[in-house]
A and B are shown apart, each in its own frame.
Chain A
Amino acid sequence: MAAMTPTTRYSDGARDTGEPDAGAPARTPARRPRRPRPGIWRGAVLALTGAYFLVPLVASFVFTVHVPGRGITFEAYTELLSADGFTESLLLSLGLAAATIALSLLLAVPALVAVRIGSPRLRPVVEVMCMLPLVVPPIALVTGITTVLRWGPEHLSRTPLYQTFIAVQNEKFPVVLVLAYTVLALPFVYRSLDAGLRAVDVPTLAEAARSCGASWPYVVLRVLLPNLRASLAGAAFLTLALVLGEFTIASLLGFRPFAVWIVSISGAQARMSVAVSILSLLITWLLLIALSRAGTTPSTAAAAPATTSRKEP
């Protein structure tokens, strides 16, 4: 920056102050710098960045298809479907994700709509409740969950609650994971929905619909939800990505959804574990790219969520 010549400086200033009238209708008024500098440093930075982020991806793919001494083979991918535990763990993860999405939306949508329409004073309470899980690392939450689960056999074995504790930890469908994932997903669901609601004038819409004689369920289901479609989809995508990639809680509670399965086969089937990693990344990325596309159209609403789902790393 220090190397700029006085002449370019002057012409810069002249263009930015003198041109808005002509430039404004064209596109975003000339805001972004405009220096005719070749920007070698920029090229170098971007090239190095690209290399750092691309090499692991390309190398992982090469790793999965190239076996030293045997040449190119796609076995790691073709044998996947028949691999022991692959379908079970994937189905378990998808089922958990569906349940988590349903539960988190069922909890968050009525609460957020209510806060918009009639109870603005509860808003800070709801916000803090939804954002608090961000402060608690998943591993700390899991220590608490194991403690609570241990109460079952220790203190409650003669009460009906004991049966609940057993049912919640069913191997086939561990409800306890759905509960924990819903807690983890709440901040993202909240942000996505809150941004969507902010773009809609909820009280006016609700008043208008009520004046036309609509019942409250009708207002929520047929008037408000269609307006929130993008942010509902955003919340669902983020939750799906979160649940598919979640490892910490599931592995420490002893369940075996997808991420845990990948780790468990990595010892014997290194190539396959990398292949599955690549596939799961591709799927997650496609979801997130679709999400960021959907989010940029109506408002900045759902564009932000993509920044925030990193919870699991």
Chain B
Amino acid sequence: MSSTTDPRAADGTRRRRRGPRTWLATLPLLAFTGLCFGIPLGAMAYGAVTRTDPASGATRVTGEHLARSLQGPYLDSLIGSVQLSALTALVGGVLGVVIAQAVVTSRSAGLRSAALTASGVLANFGGVPLAFAFIATVGISGVVTRLADLTDLGWNLYSFTGLTVVYLYFLIPLMVLVIAPALDGLRPQWREAAQNSGATGRQFWRHVGLPVLAPSLLGGFVLLFGTAFAAHATAAALVGGSVPLVTLKIADALSGNVLTGQENVALALGLDMILIAGLVMAVYLPLQRRSARWLR
């Protein structure tokens, strides 16, 4: 460390140098995302809209793959994914709000912190281990299945309903995490103000509570939808291919389990997914910003 002799000179050089130097420090990150994120995505988008003739090697632009990705079994898988995501997001959202309200309004600080920590942990409980935990519990020879004779009751884990139950395991805690701050933000004073003006509880929720919560509720729903929509590992380990989901269809096409020449349709399906996920985020981000206004 050299001591500076003339403070003004040191200051001057620093100021002149600061710009270019700091600018350089962001370069590796930007270059990395450009290379490792931009190029694969570009390749995917390019492959989704072009077709290379194997004989001549000529490449031409075509909407064929995108059109194929919106037909037949591929369309079914997209619809299946959207249905599953919408259903799980709706159920998970409602249950998450109820549970968060129970936790937030309880007077026990211990319950509160335990519930929020548990939610943080459970919301991360996805992927392969979750699938196996459910197989061991309510799968064909699962512990609870045998104890309660669930098979006779028509229960089947490897179905749309089964997947819904499994997905809720990480979606409900996610909703609790998202919505708890918003429920906290409902100031008791507002309720008192409403009550002093003669409003019933129902009127309070109708005219104050829900409007304030609406952006957070919608934002939470959208976030849950996006999470369920992108989920692949759980479904892959659980149902294989018995439920039509777009992530499973892409995996099939990529690993060559279907007719060759389907890779470009997989790319097109990937593009479809990004469009839907992008739409979801486009709804979520502004909502989050709006709800932040009330959450202080």
- How many residues belonging to B are interface residues under a CB distance threshold of 8 Å? 105
Q: Which residues of A lie under 8 Å from residue B122 when comparing CB positions?
A: 53
- In the complex, the answer to whether B36 meets A179 with C-beta atoms within 8 Å is yes
**1/0 per residue A109-125: CB within 8 Å of B?**
01101110111001001
Q: How far is the CA of A132 from the CA of B33 in the complex (A)?
A: 10
Q: Which residues of A lie under 8 Å from residue B4 when comparing CB positions?
A: 213
Interface residue A225 (Cβ < 8 Å from any Cβ of B): no
Q: Which residues of B lie under 8 Å from residue A252 when comparing CB positions?
A: 251, 254-255
Given contact pairs A55-B137, A107-B32, A16 touches B132 in the complex (Cβ within 8 A) = no
- In the complex, the answer to whether B128 meets A139 with C-beta atoms within 8 Å is no
Given contact pairs A1-B201, A16-B192, A252-B255, A56 touches B277 in the complex (Cβ within 8 A) = no
Q: How far is the CA of A202 from the CA of B277 in the complex (A)?
A: 35
- In the complex, the answer to whether B22 meets A114 with C-beta atoms within 8 Å is yes
CB closest residue in chain A, given B117: A292
Tell me if A's interface is mostly helix, strand, loop or mixed: helix
Interface residue A248 (Cβ < 8 Å from any Cβ of B): yes
Q: How far is the CA of A87 from the CA of B60 in the complex (A)?
A: 48
Contact residues on A (Cβ < 8 Å of other chain), bracket: 35 or more
- In the complex, the answer to whether A110 meets B126 with C-beta atoms within 8 Å is no
**1/0 per residue A273-292: CB within 8 Å of B?**
11001101100110011001
Given contact pairs A266-B237, A313-B233, A13 touches B170 in the complex (Cβ within 8 A) = no
- In the complex, the answer to whether A135 meets B126 with C-beta atoms within 8 Å is no
Interface residue A98 (Cβ < 8 Å from any Cβ of B): no
Given contact pairs A13-B196, A289-B121, A313 touches B247 in the complex (Cβ within 8 A) = no
Q: Which of A31, A114, A118, A277 contacts B188 (CB 8 A)?
A: A31
Q: Which residues of B lie under 8 Å from residue A42 when comparing CB positions?
A: 102, 105-106
Q: How far is the CA of A59 from the CA of B247 in the complex (A)?
A: 29
Segment 183-205 of B: residues with Cβ below 8 Å from A: 187-189, 192, 195-196, 200-202, 204-205
Q: How far is the CA of A59 from the CA of B23 in the complex (A)?
A: 55
- In the complex, the answer to whether B117 meets A289 with C-beta atoms within 8 Å is yes
Given contact pairs A56-B134, A108-B29, A247 touches B127 in the complex (Cβ within 8 A) = yes
Given contact pairs A59-B137, A110-B25, A139-B230, A9 touches B195 in the complex (Cβ within 8 A) = yes
Given contact pairs A39-B106, A63-B137, A53 touches B169 in the complex (Cβ within 8 A) = yes
**1/0 per residue B243-281: CB within 8 Å of A?**
000010011001100000001001101110110011001
Segment 262-313 of A: residues with Cβ below 8 Å from B: 262-263, 266, 270, 273-274, 277-278, 280-281, 284-285, 288-289, 292, 306-307, 309-313
Interface residue A81 (Cβ < 8 Å from any Cβ of B): no
- In the complex, the answer to whether B266 meets A143 with C-beta atoms within 8 Å is yes
Of B41-49, B70-78, B211-219, the segment with at least 4 beta carbons within 8 Å of chain A is: B41-49
Q: How far is the CA of A129 from the CA of B34 in the complex (A)?
A: 8
- In the complex, the answer to whether B236 meets A117 with C-beta atoms within 8 Å is no
CB closest residue in chain B, given A262: B128
Q: Which residues of A lie under 8 Å from residue B66 when comparing CB positions?
A: none
Given contact pairs A122-B26, A144-B270, A55 touches B144 in the complex (Cβ within 8 A) = yes
Given contact pairs A139-B273, A247-B237, A118 touches B254 in the complex (Cβ within 8 A) = no
Given contact pairs A140-B270, A310-B174, A310-B227, A111 touches B133 in the complex (Cβ within 8 A) = no
Q: Which of A12, A35, A148 contacts B39 (CB 8 A)?
A: A148
**1/0 per residue B222-247: CB within 8 Å of A?**
00000111111110110000000001
Q: Which residues of B lie under 8 Å from residue A45 when comparing CB positions?
A: 98-99, 102
Interface residue B178 (Cβ < 8 Å from any Cβ of A): yes
- In the complex, the answer to whether B237 meets A148 with C-beta atoms within 8 Å is no
Interface residue B14 (Cβ < 8 Å from any Cβ of A): yes
**1/0 per residue A214-238: CB within 8 Å of B?**
1110100000000000000000000
Q: Which of A34, A114, A132 contacts B26 (CB 8 A)?
A: A114
- In the complex, the answer to whether A213 meets B1 with C-beta atoms within 8 Å is yes
Segment 162-183 of B: residues with Cβ below 8 Å from A: 167, 169-170, 172-174, 177-178
- 26 pairs, A vs B, C-beta closer than 8 Å: A12-B192, A16-B192, A34-B107, A39-B102, A46-B102, A49-B102, A52-B169, A55-B137, A56-B137, A63-B143, A114-B26, A118-B19, A126-B30, A133-B37, A135-B278, A137-B229, A137-B273, A138-B232, A140-B273, A213-B3, A259-B128, A292-B117, A292-B120, A307-B120, A312-B126, A313-B130
Which A residues are closer than 8 A to B by beta carbons? 1-4, 9, 12-13, 16-17, 30-35, 39, 41-42, 45-46, 49, 52-53, 55-57, 59-60, 62-64, 66, 106-108, 110-111, 113-115, 117-119, 122, 125-126, 129-130, 132-148, 151, 179-180, 182-183, 186, 210-216, 218, 241, 245-248, 251-252, 259, 262-263, 266, 270, 273-274, 277-278, 280-281, 284-285, 288-289, 292, 306-307, 309-313
Closest 7 CB pairs of A and B: A313-B126, A144-B40, A118-B22, A1-B201, A306-B120, A137-B230, A114-B25
Given contacts A137-B247, A139-B230, A140-B250, 11 further A-B pairs with CB under 8 A are: A30-B188, A110-B25, A110-B28, A111-B28, A114-B21, A118-B19, A140-B273, A182-B32, A213-B2, A289-B121, A310-B123
